[in-house]
Every structure is written in structure tokens, then in C-alpha cells.
Amino acid sequence: MNHIRMNVYGVSIEHPVDWQIYINSQNRFSFNEGLIKIDKVDGGKKNQISLSIRWAKMKKDINLEDYIEELEKQFRKKEKKSRHKDSYKIMDKKRWMIDGNEAYFLHNQFQANHNVYRFLGKEELVETLQIVYYSKETKRMIIGTLLTTPEELRNRKSELMNILSSLKEDIQSDIEHLKKGQDSSQIKVI
């Protein structure tokens, strides 16, 4: 499958060329904060793989281990708040390095009982793969999240891991485009 690198505001990731990029005009979209969704679409119909890339400038340096610990606490709170109708579980957690920055890979699983996460209109199990890292250079937290069904993950885990592991901060590329008079970060949202 052909892949293309998307780079916006110095955050880049490779994804299949036939996946569609969505930018919600209601969300902030700048160097300091942004959210992009890239979804697999078959025949104009959204399929069961959704990739989101989120970044945000932090007010102070972040200890990534503390951040991941807080994330785990939030999962437990959400589960308790739903009176255990929803279940959240971290299946795997590994330390990685991305361009000299400490990162974490997370494999989460949750059962959602509300329509925010229901792909098929009913309660179902959702698998997520995440890369979370903090850039010391730009002081931004960068998170890539792939949501899919357990079946899609089993069938395409290697491909999905390759997509997610291509997430990086690529400021140098943007600087080179600016020097040439080509601002690669300017995207018009309609």
C-alpha cells in the first residue's frame, strides 16, 4: 500500500494515501495546539480505523512517566464514573525513543457503552494503540492514537504499528520550506 507523509506545524506521520484527513474548524489549529484525524475510508464509507494526532504546548517541562501515570488514573476514574459500564484497560506499556525524546507506546482496550466510541451503533470493544511523547525542543506533548476493532488490530497490527511509529516532530522540514518561500503548515480549513 502506498503511504504519504503528512507534516503540519512540524508534526508528521506517514499514512496510506487513500485515508482521508479531517480538521475540525471548531478546534484550535496552530503550532501550539492542534488535532487532526486521518480515517480509513472505503467507498466513501468510514471504516473501522481512525488515527488522530494531537499536540499541545505545555506551560512547563513534563515528566513523561508522571503523565502516563496520570493517564492511568483517569482511566480508572472514567470506569468508576460509568459505574463500570465502560471498562478501560492498559494492555501493554513500553518506553520508546523518538528523535532523542523519551516516548511511551500504549496498547489500550476499552468497552464503551456510549455512542462517542461506537463504530457500529452498539456497545463494542475498541482497541487503541498510542505513541505519547514530549518534545524538549518545542515543549509540546505529541500524541498519536489509532482506534480500531480487535479484529482489525489482529489482521493489520504490523501495518498499524508502522504507521504509528512514523509519528515524529519534523521542525527542520518546515524551516527549509519557509526559507524557500513555501509554508507547508498553512492549510485552509473550510
In the chain, what are the domains? 3-179 (3.40.1000.10)
What's the pLDDT at 66? 85
Instruction: Give the lowest-confidence range in 66-70, 87-91, 127-131, 162-166.
Output: 87-91
- What is the distance between the terminal CA atoms of the chain, rounded to a whole angstrom? 29
- Give pTM, 2 decimals: 0.78
Note the pLDDT of residue 152: 87
- H or E element that contains 138: none
pLDDT, tens digit (0-9, with 9 covering 90-100), for 85-135: 666 777 888 988 887 788 999 898 877 654 444 444 556 778 889 999 888
Whole-angstrom Cα distance, residue 24 to residue 90?
Answer: 28
The region of weakest confidence among 26-40, 93-107, 110-124, 153-167 is 110-124
Q: How do the residues of the chain divide into helix, strand and coil, expressed in percent and rounded to 5?
A: 25, 45, 35
Tell me, what DSSP letter sits at residue 140? Answer: E
Q: 54, 143 in Cβ contact below 8 A?
A: yes
Residue type, 54: R
C-alpha to C-alpha distances, 36 to 12, 22, 70, 77, nearest whole angstrom: 11, 6, 23, 26
Asked if 94 and 64 count as a contact pair (C-beta separation under 8 A), the reply is no
Question: Shortest CA distance to 4 belongs to which of 43, 12, 123?
Answer: 12
Q: Name the strand (E) or helix (H) holding 67.
A: helix 64-81
Place of cell 508502522: 162
With b for 16 or more beta-carbon neighbours within 10 A and e for fewer, the 149-174 pattern comes to beebbeebeeebbebbbbbbbbbeeb
As a whole number of angstroms, the distance between CA 6 and CA 182 comes to: 15
SS3 157: helix
DSSP E strand stretches across 9-80 = 11-16, 20-22, 33-42, 45-57
